[in-house]
A and B are shown apart, each in its own frame.
Chain A
């Protein structure tokens, strides 16, 4: 048995290292058409994704923005296509990567508005035209290209994004995309952010930025969750059918990045501990990124606690209805429970966010709590029901025969007995719930997982943030388990003392 496990592990390690060390001659690849037959990583739902689908014959690896470079580094894809400006600014040589060719799908990016909201769009276009005609725009953009760091600091001195009474607050959906939209010292900045802040200052709007998945931006805009898409979005015809684009404010094109023929620069291949230290510094210490993680952790904990409370309440109600002696109540409840358990949680979450509460300004956190409450309420309810049904009918009768009322028998006899059977089962469900909160990034909530996504999008390092996040989840699950076990012990010892 142990031998078998050893062989398995060895095989997996072999596979990993093989796929990582594969070196192919890529010198003949010089344009998009040449990518046929190669694996290419692109951002899911982005314009390069659509373009490669049209080219055909390309093995497309769809990932988040933050994973593109890592995928090439680790050999999961031979190429990745990313913004060429971004590619130039990143220190690709030190990672053993190089730009193979540029100017892919040259185009322009603009802000997106709802079609009904053309007034806002016109206002923005007017502002753009003004600064472009006065030459202010070119100076500003040059400064950004020369010294993004100092511009990032400078961008915060632009007032206007604070909420004040009487101002319309614009909800702006963004994705992290260096250097257009990124976090510097845990504060949002970037070329597009700076531009939009300046516009809002002039036009008298307050701004509220919300981080979304790129593919979720257009649905969020059309369902009214956000008013503006500001996400370095290419102005394509496809998208123009669904949303209203502003005039172009930035030109761009893609760069195809692959591993350089020379391999990594000497000195980079440091020892494991050194690399870990470097990762630690990069992902947590630098720019105080650990704050992002701790904020995310608090969000995860808050969402978990609220969801557990909601699920317990929903569970109690569903259990009560399900156990009703009246068929007309219990049967529909059973159907509802089956429905809730039959739909994947992520789908329920999206349905609630983009359909049920589409037009309301309710935040993703509360939608999450409601969705989790309903979904896990169905599971909890069934756990409660089996717990209650496991209490022998004779226990109730004995209580009645002694002269106790229904509620008293429930509280003093049935509930304590049921709880001691419910809690061990519930433990698993609660831990599952906590881990499941990692999907809330889909509805613009920055939890622990999403925080690590944001860090990865900036540092382009997959290993360290993911391992760290896993460890935090393990810790959370372990502590929850301990807590529930203590509760169970408390209950059984209490029952012996009455």
Chain B
């Protein structure tokens, strides 16, 4: 139904520099699919969605809807937009109209429906989203969740073939998220074609037929929810799915600033809410490894990864120019190694020169 090829979008910053948000996007959306777009913030998920109905003007590339190139100047974009609904993060209900009028205005103006017809359909839709009683209210009198449900109903009133959801729950109180998600889930069950940008991972996993992971301006990885969530192929996907936080530092020789390093680790652990016990463990292991075990035949790189999803911490120490395996040469009776093993659950050396410590 929608075909995107080599889509590129650059923004011009006020200082005149250009910022490439989307580098080269290729994807297809088929009828009946529920596509979710996920990825770290700032990777252009919303921009991609807004390019699809040309609320943003792409810099280059091709977007075809049922074979019509919508970037062509001769295409009447308004006709295309009538077939593509959009739900915004900030609802954007027309503030001066009642909820029912929000639903009936466009069908009457653009689809040529009579007032009675439009109002009948409008009330049906309000029933569907559970807002039958609010038909005569102004948007300002509704809660956030109700507003978003009304906005979804407004989209449906135009009988669209696809609905684009731009972070529909990001502006909501946590207590109101579920009512909106329930409505979207209901639409998915009815077989509505949808494209959703969302940070609600559990919801995305349940409702999607396919997931696009956007990173660095491209579709970095795509697949079914199982593929993306259970078995991500690429490191950035894994880091995102497991919500892995990393800390990195490089040391040229033995005479580095140990207490400065401790301070930085402290800050990192504090930031992600790790307790004093874990902090002390990480600091001790770092000290023993760097001062007792690593040979320093070149620079050493320390990486600490913390997964918010599993709460696991893994540390890796990488010795550049390593000539041989480190653990074997240290000897079983080394006091430092014994202490490291005592504090960790697993110490391995997958490649010569790289020691991994799991806590």
Could you list which residues of chain A lie within 8 angstroms of chain B, going by C-beta atoms?
392, 394-395, 397-405, 408, 412-413, 416-417, 420, 492, 495-498
Of the A-B pairs whose beta carbons lie under 8 Å apart in the complex, a sample of 22, sorted by A's number, is: A392-B92, A394-B90, A394-B92, A395-B95, A397-B55, A397-B88, A397-B92, A398-B93, A402-B81, A402-B85, A403-B79, A405-B78, A408-B109, A412-B105, A412-B109, A413-B96, A417-B95, A492-B96, A495-B96, A495-B97, A496-B98, A498-B104
Expressed in whole angstroms, the minimum distance between the Cβ of B194 and any Cβ of chain A is: 15
* A498 and B101 within 8 A (CB): yes
* A402 and B82 within 8 A (CB): yes
By Cβ-Cβ distance, the 7 closest A-B pairs, closest first, are A403-B82, A398-B92, A394-B92, A401-B86, A403-B81, A495-B96, A498-B101
Expressed in whole angstroms, the minimum distance between the Cβ of A487 and any Cβ of chain B is: 15
* A404 and B90 within 8 A (CB): no
Q: How far is the CA of A398 from the CA of B90 in the complex (A)?
A: 10
Q: How far is the CA of A368 from the CA of B103 in the complex (A)?
A: 48
Q: How far is the CA of A401 from the CA of B155 in the complex (A)?
A: 9
Residues of the A chain whose Cβ atoms lie less than 8 Å from the Cβ of B78: 403-405
Residues of the A chain whose Cβ atoms lie less than 8 Å from the Cβ of B80: 403
Q: How far is the CA of A408 from the CA of B93 in the complex (A)?
A: 16
Contacts A403-B82, A492-B96, A498-B97 given; 4 further ones with Cβ under 8 A?
A397-B55, A399-B94, A404-B109, A413-B94
* Other-chain contact of B158, A392, A397, A403, A408 (Cβ < 8 Å): A403
Q: How many cross-chain pairs have Cβ atoms below 8 Å apart between A and B?
A: 71
Instruction: Mark each residue of chain B from 101 to 131: 1 if its CB lies under 8 Å from any CB of chain A, else 0.
Output: 1001110011000000000000000000000
Instruction: Mark each residue of chain B from 72 to 90: 1 if its CB lies under 8 Å from any CB of chain A, else 0.
Output: 0000001111101110101
Could you list which residues of chain B lie within 8 angstroms of chain A, going by C-beta atoms?
53, 55, 78-82, 84-86, 88, 90, 92-98, 101, 104-106, 109-110, 138, 154-155, 158
Q: How far is the CA of A498 from the CA of B53 in the complex (A)?
A: 27
Residues of the A chain whose Cβ atoms lie less than 8 Å from the Cβ of B94: 395, 398-399, 413, 417
Residues of the B chain whose Cβ atoms lie less than 8 Å from the Cβ of A412: 105, 109
Q: How far is the CA of A492 from the CA of B53 in the complex (A)?
A: 32
Q: How far is the CA of A104 from the CA of B86 in the complex (A)?
A: 87
Q: How far is the CA of A402 from the CA of B155 in the complex (A)?
A: 7
Residues of the B chain whose Cβ atoms lie less than 8 Å from the Cβ of A496: 97-98, 101, 138
* A416 and B79 within 8 A (CB): no
Q: How far is the CA of A459 from the CA of B86 in the complex (A)?
A: 74
Residues of the A chain whose Cβ atoms lie less than 8 Å from the Cβ of B55: 397, 400-401
Expressed in whole angstroms, the minimum distance between the Cβ of B164 and any Cβ of chain A is: 8
* B109 and A417 within 8 A (CB): no
* B110 and A416 within 8 A (CB): no
Expressed in whole angstroms, the minimum distance between the Cβ of A287 and any Cβ of chain B is: 55
* B53 and A401 within 8 A (CB): yes
Residues of the A chain whose Cβ atoms lie less than 8 Å from the Cβ of B138: 496
Residues of the A chain whose Cβ atoms lie less than 8 Å from the Cβ of B105: 412, 498
Known: A413-B94, A495-B96, A498-B101. A401 touches B109 (CB 8 A): no
* A403 and B106 within 8 A (CB): yes
Expressed in whole angstroms, the minimum distance between the Cβ of B38 and any Cβ of chain A is: 22
Q: How far is the CA of A408 from the CA of B81 in the complex (A)?
A: 14
Residues of the A chain whose Cβ atoms lie less than 8 Å from the Cβ of B155: 402
* A416 and B106 within 8 A (CB): no
Expressed in whole angstroms, the minimum distance between the Cβ of A389 and any Cβ of chain B is: 15
Q: How far is the CA of A495 from the CA of B154 in the complex (A)?
A: 17
* A404 and B110 within 8 A (CB): yes
Expressed in whole angstroms, the minimum distance between the Cβ of B24 and any Cβ of chain A is: 25
Q: How far is the CA of A105 from the CA of B90 in the complex (A)?
A: 81
Q: How far is the CA of A343 from the CA of B346 in the complex (A)?
A: 82
Expressed in whole angstroms, the minimum distance between the Cβ of A208 and any Cβ of chain B is: 53
* B82 and A420 within 8 A (CB): no
B158 nearest in chain A by CB position: A402
* A416 and B96 within 8 A (CB): yes
* B79 and A398 within 8 A (CB): no
B93 nearest in chain A by CB position: A398
Residues of the B chain whose Cβ atoms lie less than 8 Å from the Cβ of A400: 55, 81
Q: How far is the CA of A405 from the CA of B158 in the complex (A)?
A: 15
Residues of the A chain whose Cβ atoms lie less than 8 Å from the Cβ of B79: 403
Q: How far is the CA of A417 from the CA of B138 in the complex (A)?
A: 13
* B109 and A398 within 8 A (CB): no
Residues of the B chain whose Cβ atoms lie less than 8 Å from the Cβ of A401: 53, 55, 81, 84-86, 88
B95 nearest in chain A by CB position: A417
Residues of the B chain whose Cβ atoms lie less than 8 Å from the Cβ of A404: 78, 106, 109-110
Expressed in whole angstroms, the minimum distance between the Cβ of B74 and any Cβ of chain A is: 16
Residues of the A chain whose Cβ atoms lie less than 8 Å from the Cβ of B88: 394, 397-398, 401
Expressed in whole angstroms, the minimum distance between the Cβ of A125 and any Cβ of chain B is: 72
Q: How far is the CA of A497 from the CA of B55 in the complex (A)?
A: 29
Q: How far is the CA of A394 from the CA of B147 in the complex (A)?
A: 14
A394 nearest in chain B by CB position: B92
* A417 and B96 within 8 A (CB): yes
Expressed in whole angstroms, the minimum distance between the Cβ of A467 and any Cβ of chain B is: 44
* A420 and B92 within 8 A (CB): no
Q: How far is the CA of A241 from the CA of B96 in the complex (A)?
A: 67
Residues of the A chain whose Cβ atoms lie less than 8 Å from the Cβ of B158: 402-403
Q: How far is the CA of A497 from the CA of B53 in the complex (A)?
A: 30
Expressed in whole angstroms, the minimum distance between the Cβ of A488 and any Cβ of chain B is: 13
